[in-house]
Amino acid sequence: MRCCDGHAARLRRPTDSSEPPDHDVSECSHRPRRGVRHHGAVIDVAAERADTPGCLDQAFLDSAGSSLPTTRVVDAVVAHLRREAEVGGYRAAAERADDLAAVPVVLGRLLGCDPDLVALSDSATRSWNQFVTAIRWAPGDRILICGTEYASNAIALLQRARIDGCSVEVVPNGPDGLVDLDALSALLDERVRLVSLVHVPTNSGQVAPVREVVECAHDVGALVLLDACQSVGQLRVDVEDLGVDALSATGRKWLRAPRGTGFLYVRRSILEGLEPAAADMRGATWTAPDGYELESGARRFELWEYDVASRLGLKMAVEHLLRLGVDDVEAAVRSRAADLRTALSEVPRVVLRDAGADLSGVVSFTVDGVDAADVRDRLLAQDVTVAVSGLPSTRLDMTARGLGAVVRASPHYFVSSDDIEAAAAAVARVR
């Protein structure tokens, strides 16, 4: 064992005791005991495709970028915008007060935590920065980042180093492409305040060993902040099981929610030591001419103004995921990604770029002799939608692997077998 064997016992925390919401997902338990798979109904792909008209005339393989929402999510967002046009934004929001209050409830069910530990925002980056800037940094503090760190995260931490006098150091990847736990252990000491970890990187399908990293970090009292942008919605993400201190994620990717939605989870025991850098009357109360009081829960990180229609869409998207069953969605996504890797591996000049044995729904590859952007554009001309992940987004990892860019394909559960075959055939025609 690379870190203290006895620390696992100290990571155990009380299970979530919150009551289920009085909504459609009240019977959709997402937290079976660890190691016991949830056996829900098999996903009806035909029905899901019918409810996702955007996937009917293309092979849509970009849920790692911004996925296709269901018709019901779109209708909910548009209906609220129309209601705002009829009665004004305040009255329209008041009419949906119960639904808005239920958003952290359904997210709590998804993440396995109490609703008051979830703060809503307009993006994962906003949530991530709200947490990082709430830490009371001091000169000499150390921050460790992983080799697959995302650009926005790295920039924010380098800014903290410039302003607060702390240092940012990189934990290298091991031969398997995952964070090197031996190297992590060697770097950890009592000066490390934060370990920043990406659950699934933006440029590869590998899944980070979160529990092991948490165990190592907690041995020296360091916090662990998990970037779950590419995992929430395609993988089971249970914050109690993982043991992380904070987690940020977006709605627009695998959750299939509108853009402009994000959220933050913060462990209860560390909340009182966190002072948001940008608090307003949503996260605090003006109690006296010269005083204010922060909200006791994660709501202290929220801001008063937000897009009500998009937040209602987020609620509907999460409820839909819970109805389908998180484990069934994960199984479907992993299966489609595995099928795509197999199909691409048979195409001449294609090189798969995913590292590690535990792979998610993000599939990265290159085509010898063709720039990644040209591959993307030529696939789009054949009604196959993929994305490009370039060096600036994950500079450390891409530089270490000698890559300038990769093509990123990310099939969700609504992608059909025909879509996979069409995508592979389209790649084979790229010249």
Q: What pLDDT digit, counting tens, does each position of 268-301 carry?
A: 999 999 999 999 999 999 999 999 999 999 999 9
Residue 72, Cα to own-chain centre: how many angstroms? 22
Q: What is the Rg, in whole angstroms, of the alpha carbon atoms belonging to the chain?
A: 22
212 in Cβ contact with 184 (< 8 Å):
no
In a domain, 66, yes or no: no
Decide which of 11 and 56 is more confident.
56
Query: How far apart, in whole angstroms, are the C-alpha atoms of residue 316 and residue 222?
Result: 36
What is the pLDDT, as a whole number, of residue 307? 98
Tokens encoding 69 = 């929402």
Confidence of residue 160 (pLDDT cuts 50, 70, 90): very high
Are 138 and 174 in the same domain?
Answer: yes
What is the pLDDT, as a whole number, of residue 63? 99
Are 214 and 124 in the same domain?
Answer: yes
Those residues with Cβ within 8 angstroms of residue 336's Cβ, 6 or more apart along the chain or in another chain: 361, 411, 412, 413, 415, 420
Are 298 and 404 in the same domain?
Answer: no
Are 86 and 167 in the same domain?
Answer: yes
**Helix runs in 179-307, H state only:** 181-187, 210-219, 239-242
In a domain, 64, yes or no: no
306, 322, 338 — which closes off a domain?
322
Are 305 and 172 in the same domain?
Answer: yes
234 in Cβ contact with 46 (< 8 Å):
no
Domain that holds residue 335: 326-428
Are 307 and 362 in the same domain?
Answer: no
Average pLDDT over residues 103-118: 99
In a domain, 18, yes or no: no
- Residue-wise over 369-401: b if at least 16 C-beta within 10 A, else e? ebebeebbebbeeeebbbbbbbbebbebbbeeb
Quickly count: other Cβ atoms within 10 Å of residue 99's Cβ. 17
What is the pLDDT, as a whole number, of residue 343? 98
**What 3-state class would DSSP assign to 183?**
helix
280 in Cβ contact with 303 (< 8 Å):
yes
Average pLDDT over residues 188-213: 98
Q: What is the pTM of this model?
A: 0.90
Are 341 and 299 in the same domain?
Answer: no
In a domain, 1, yes or no: no
Length of the chain: 431
Query: How far apart, in whole angstroms, are the C-alpha atoms of residue 120 and residue 312?
Result: 12
Are 101 and 148 in the same domain?
Answer: yes
What is the pLDDT, as a whole number, of residue 383? 98
In a domain, 53, yes or no: no
What is the pLDDT, as a whole number, of residue 21? 37
Which residue, among 290, 317, 269, has the nearest Cα to 114 in the 3D structure? 269
304, 322, 340 — which closes off a domain?
322
What is the pLDDT, as a whole number, of residue 3? 60
Left if phi > 0, otherwise alpha if psi is -120 to 50, otherwise beta: which for 369?
Answer: left
Whether the pLDDT of residue 41 is over 90: the answer is no
In a domain, 39, yes or no: no
Query: How far apart, in whole angstroms, are the C-alpha atoms of residue 306 and residue 293?
Result: 21
What is the pLDDT, as a whole number, of residue 355? 85
Whether the pLDDT of residue 30 is over 60: the answer is no
In a domain, 86, yes or no: yes
User: Looking at 105-252, which runs of residues are DSSP E strands?
Assistant: 118-121, 142-146, 167-171, 192-198, 223-227, 246-250
Please give the order of strands across the beta sheet that includes 142-146: 118-121, 262-266, 246-250, 223-227, 192-198, 142-146, 167-171
Those residues with Cβ within 8 angstroms of residue 322's Cβ, 6 or more apart along the chain or in another chain: 25, 28, 30, 106, 109, 110
Whether the pLDDT of residue 215 is over 50: the answer is yes
Whether the pLDDT of residue 220 is over 80: the answer is yes
What is the pLDDT, as a whole number, of residue 39? 40
Number of domains present in the structure of the chain: 2
Are 281 and 342 in the same domain?
Answer: no
Q: What is the CATH number of the domain that holds 199?
A: 3.40.640.10
Confidence of residue 19 (pLDDT cuts 50, 70, 90): very low
Are 236 and 364 in the same domain?
Answer: no
Exposure on the CB side of residue 394, measured as CA atoms within 13 A: 23
Mean pLDDT, all residues of the chain? 92
Confidence of residue 138 (pLDDT cuts 50, 70, 90): very high
Confidence of residue 33 (pLDDT cuts 50, 70, 90): very low
**Helix runs in 140-268, H state only:** 151-164, 181-187, 210-219, 239-242
Are 283 and 372 in the same domain?
Answer: no
Q: What is the CATH number of the domain that holds 417?
A: 3.90.1150.10
Are 113 and 236 in the same domain?
Answer: yes
Whether the pLDDT of residue 67 is over 80: the answer is yes
263, 298, 322 — which closes off a domain?
322
